[in-house]
Amino acid sequence: MLEYQPQDASSPSTKIPLLPLDLSQHKLPITLYWAPIVLTSCLLPIVGYFALHYATSLSLTIILSIFLSIMGGVSLLAFLIRAWALWRTNSDCRPLGSNNRWAFDYFFWNFVFMFCVLTALITSGITTENLQIVSLPLSILILWVSAQMTIAEILLALQIKVPFRMSSLQKSDTLRPGVYVIVEDVVAVDGKQGRAWRQAWNDRYISSPIFKQFLSQIERIWAVTGLSVVAIIWGVVFGLENHEIGYALGWALPFAWGAGMALITTVLAKRMLRQEKIVELDQ
């Protein structure tokens, strides 16, 4: 069984281990993974709402139920696939240091919590025909993630230890950026890279101070911009009398922000890799 070694984080190696993942070789799987998400969580709720609202006499409840139910179904399917990948007997993507079938990772529990919260929110908005409420799900998801990233950076600055098991990080280990845990879990399970990825991700973090700084930098950028996006959406949703503008913005802006941040992350990651290469050559 692969073992996690967070205690070695203070003694980085002079050789930076490579990560066993080349995104350029996974363009098609990545596209196939994101296409239904963008379709059901962005395009359908917006295009479908305006098309049916102005072209038919259907009630708001029926219109919202059609497209938001589709989105919920896709999310539920993703949840079940993820749960099975972690729970099955021969699973190779569980957190390091545990073979317990019930040892789900940190991302999984976040998924469960937000799925329940957003389902309740959307159901409430549909039954009351409140367009403001059904404008909020994606912004609340961003708020939840950005808040956790912000808290993680504060705890890191205070040198607080891990308060409870977080994926492969065990209680009392040295805390790492929240984005570290997110990437570990998503790539290992949803990206099907398994425990080999979790171990390589850990080894890279231990071995490269530049990589550590990069993760904290990216986390701060994602957190600050994420909270800003939430503020913009909520300001429009609750500040304008025309609730349709807030509805469209609430479902479109998060994806525009995500795409922009993905580009920024890619640029900064390439710069980080160049810096690591220079350090290796100097040693």
Would you kindly state where each structural domain of the chain is located, as residue ranges? Answer: 6-282
Longest dimension (CA), the chain: 71
- Residue appearing with tokens 């205690």: 7
Can you give the pLDDT at residue 7?
A: 42
Residue 101 to residue 30: CA distance in whole angstroms: 27
Query: Cα(72)–Cα(75) distance, rounded to whole angstroms?
Result: 5
Q: Check if the beta carbon of residue 74 is closer than 8 Å to that of residue 37.
A: yes
Q: Report the C-alpha gap between 280 and 15 in whole angstroms.
A: 7
Averaged pLDDT, 272-282: 83
Angle at 23 between CA 20 and CA 25, to 5 degrees: 95
pLDDT digits (tens, 9 = 90+) for 202-238: 999 999 999 999 999 999 999 999 999 999 999 999 9
Residue-averaged pLDDT of the chain: 88
Which band of pLDDT confidence, cut at 50, 70 and 90, is reported for residue 30?
A: low
Contact yes or no for 253/232 (Cβ under 8 A): yes
Contact between 234 and 133 under an 8 Å Cβ cutoff? The reply is no
39 pLDDT band (50/70/90 cuts)? confident
Q: What is the pLDDT of residues 49-81, one digit of tens each?
A: 999 999 999 999 999 999 888 888 888 888 899
Give every CB contact of residue 121 below 8 A, 6+ residues apart in sequence.
133, 134, 136, 137, 140
Q: What is the DSSP letter of 129?
A: T
The rounded Cα 223 to chain-centroid distance in angstroms is 12
Sign of CA dihedral 101, 105, 106, 112: negative
- Give the rounded percent of residues in the chain with a pLDDT score beyond 90: 71
User: pTM score > 0.75 for this model?
Assistant: yes
pLDDT, mean of residues 125-150: 95
pLDDT for 3:
44
